[in-house]
């Protein structure tokens, strides 16, 4: 049986594991928010960066990308990769994935979603934000929260903030 993993942050543009299929879709009753401090991948303990997490909100939808992993070896490798990459996650949950904006039945049931405290490869926090914005735009998703943050960050030149 195949395993599906849902990405709503850096997994949208950089899954980092082998997969057989990629499906754009959304989960219900959760929204993507830049509320998590990242002291390991996108910041330091003295100056934490911000990464996305999912927040339960009835009626909300969060668009992203689900990855299908079929072979046992690829599943094991993906899980090991995610355990290291998402080492501070709070929990794994399993949600239904929808691909149609007014669906009656899910496209995939029980997609694994990691809700965690930090994600993504090392690099500037604004890079994470802009890559997420770009990846969402490429799959036809405009997330107002991500868009508003990206637009706000663009207003400041690199020299406006110093550490």
Distance CA 95, CA 41 (A): 26
DSSP-derived 3-state class of residue 161: coil
Catalytic site includes residue 127: no
- How far apart CA 104 and CA 153 sit, in angstroms, is 38
- The single residue of 46, 80, 83, 86 carrying the catalytic annotation is 86
Nearest alpha carbon to residue 127 among 33, 35, 42: 42
Beta strand pairing call for 3-7 and 49-69: antiparallel
Catalytic sites, residue numbers: 86
């Amino acid at each position: 049986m195949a395993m599906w993993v849902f990405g709503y942050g850096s997994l949208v543009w950089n899954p980092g594991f082998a997969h057989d299929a990629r499906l754009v879709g959304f989960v219900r009753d959760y929204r993507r928010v830049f509320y998590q401090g990242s002291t390991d991948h996108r910041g330091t303990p003295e100056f934490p960066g911000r990464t996305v997490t999912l927040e339960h909100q009835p009626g909300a939808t969060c668009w992203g990308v689900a990855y299908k992993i079929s072979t046992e070896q690829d599943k094991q490798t993906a899980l090991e990769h995610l355990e290291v990459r998402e080492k501070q996650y709070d929990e794994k949950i399993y949600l239904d994935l929808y691909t149609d904006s007014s669906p009656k039945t899910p496209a995939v049931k029980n997609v694994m979603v990691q809700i965690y405290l930090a994600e993504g490869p090392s690099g500037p926090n604004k890079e994470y934000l802009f890559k997420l914005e770009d990846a969402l735009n490429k799959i036809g998703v405009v997330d107002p929260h991500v868009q508003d943050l990206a637009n706000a960050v663009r207003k400041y030149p690199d020299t406006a903030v110093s550490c």
